[in-house]
Amino acid sequence: MSEKFWAVWRRDGGSAPSKRHESRIEAIEEAARLAQQTNTDYFVLEVIGVVAPQVIPVNYVELS
């Protein structure tokens, strides 16, 4: 599975996207289905990158 994916998000808020669509077409089809069902706009979002935490070594020093 590629790390690239698309998501669908309701224009006026709603809950955060929870489904990863493996193709642009799949996301567009889902957005169209939801728009028809709810009579509101949906954004099709494309992942452009990822921000990952940097692992930093830590030390424990006992104070005497």
pTM for this entry: 0.74
Give the lowest-confidence range in 14-18, 24-28, 31-35, 47-51. Answer: 14-18
Q: Report pLDDT digits (tens) over 2-21.
A: 689 999 999 888 888 989 99
Q: What is the DSSP letter of 17?
A: P
How many degrees, rounded to 5, is the angle at CA 9 between CA 34 and CA 20?
Answer: 90
Distance CA 29, CA 21 (A): 10
Of 52 and 30, the structure prediction assigns the larger pLDDT to: 30
pLDDT of residue 2: 61
Distance CA 37, CA 29 (A): 12
pLDDT of residue 3: 86
